[in-house]
Structures are given as structure tokens and as C-alpha cells.
Amino acid sequence: MNVRRLLWLVLLLPACVGTDTGNPPLSASLSARSSDPAVVISPAAGEVVVGGAWISLSEVRLTLGERCDHLSEPYAVDVVGDLVVGLPTAGIPETSICGVHVDLHAPSELPAGAPDALADRTLLLVGRLADGRPFEISSALTRGINVSGPAPFSLDEGAGAMIVFDVSRWVAGLDLAGLLPDADGVVRLGPGDAELEIFENGAVGGVELYADVDGDGVLDPSELSAGALASSHAP
């Protein structure tokens, strides 16, 4: 398994919407991993080598409930920038967190350093195939993703949460090696291509929430092996 901080996040909300006094915000870092040994994160070698993954989000919301099959409205939003999302926890009863909800929305303008291919897109995956050909997959999918667990849970004081995107799920079922490259040699898949739905369903169904026990913003092997607190599901 490959665990690495790879995900570039484009945030469309103001840097800080507001926090409540009292309990500190729940720090929810975003990251990417691959659960398939054939899909690796650069610089390793594999059948599919992911060099970059971009996702554009408009909202990240905490979901609460006495029972996770009857969720209340999302509690609050407080985006503090970079790869860390602060979710206020003031007034939240213990063991009442059911998960998070994230909304995909294309950026109104590209942030500094973002590739041109992200324009009007919400998902972008780039890398190279085993034969050395570069690939680029992009989607303009706009929708919400619920990442929920089977039962309410809480996190220990000082712990955070990791919202993890499994990039191997993004390409599972795609025959990238069988696609013809464009004139510039890049294998591309995007809006209008029949296979794109496979990519989109994989991205929507490959989101998990893990406990970041030491609060360092990195998904350590022991935290990964403890299992996900919540997960999304493909349409």
C-alpha cells in the first residue's frame, strides 16, 4: 500500500467562515493513497504511476446524528486553508460524529500553480503508464459525497481526522493502456468519453475518513491498519 501526501486541494470557500468558542476545531487533513499495488504514487514504479491528483471542493461539512442512518443537517463549515479543514466541535455531544460531507465544484478561476487542465474541472488525475506514456483524466462532475460510518464515533483529545481519497479506485476498471494517445502523446480521458463514468464512480466511492491519532496530518501505517471510521459509496 502506498500512503503519501499527494492530493492538491482547490478550496472555493473563504479562508475562514468562523469558529465557535469552546472545544477546539476538529482538524481534518486531506490526503491520498493507493490500496492497489499496481497503482502507485510517484516516484515508485507500477502499471499506473500517479504523478498528481487535484480535487476542487466547495464545502466540507461534519455530519452528526444519534444514529448514523438518520443524520442531522451538517453542523458547520470552517475552512482554514491549505490541506487542513477545521471543523468546529463546540456543543457536539460525544460519540455523535457520523462522518463528513464534501461537495465537488469547479473553481471559478485557477489558483496559482494549478495546471491548465483543471479549468472547469473538479477532478484531475495525471501520471504515466507502464510503457512510459503520460495520461490525463479530468471530470467536471458536480455533486456531494457522503462519507459516513455505521455508528456514531468520537475522537480523542488532540486527535484529528484524515479525509483520504483512494486514487486506485479512480482508475479501477479503466483500460488506460488500450486508449490511443492524442497527437502530443498524452492519453486523455475527459467529458464526452463513455469511460469517464467509471472514473467518476470510482472517485465518488473511494473516499474514507480515518482517525489521525497523533494529529500530525499524516496517515501513519498504524492509523491505516486500524481501519476507516467512515467511507463513501459509489452511485
Is the pLDDT at 1 greater than 50? The verdict is: no
Q: How confident is the model at residue 25 (pLDDT cuts 50, 70, 90)?
A: very low
pLDDT of 85 reads: 42
Q: Is 227 helix (H, G, I), strand (E, B) or coil?
A: coil
Check residues 115 and 199 and name the one with the higher pLDDT.
199
Q: How confident is the model at residue 231 (pLDDT cuts 50, 70, 90)?
A: very high
Distance CA(210)–CA(45), nearest Å, equals: 27
Is the pLDDT at 147 greater than 80? The verdict is: yes
Residue 69: closest CA among 157, 176, 149: 149
| Mean pLDDT, rounded, of the chain | 74
Check residues 106 and 39 and name the one with the higher pLDDT.
106
Residue 171: closest CA among 131, 200, 139: 200
pTM, 2 dp = 0.78
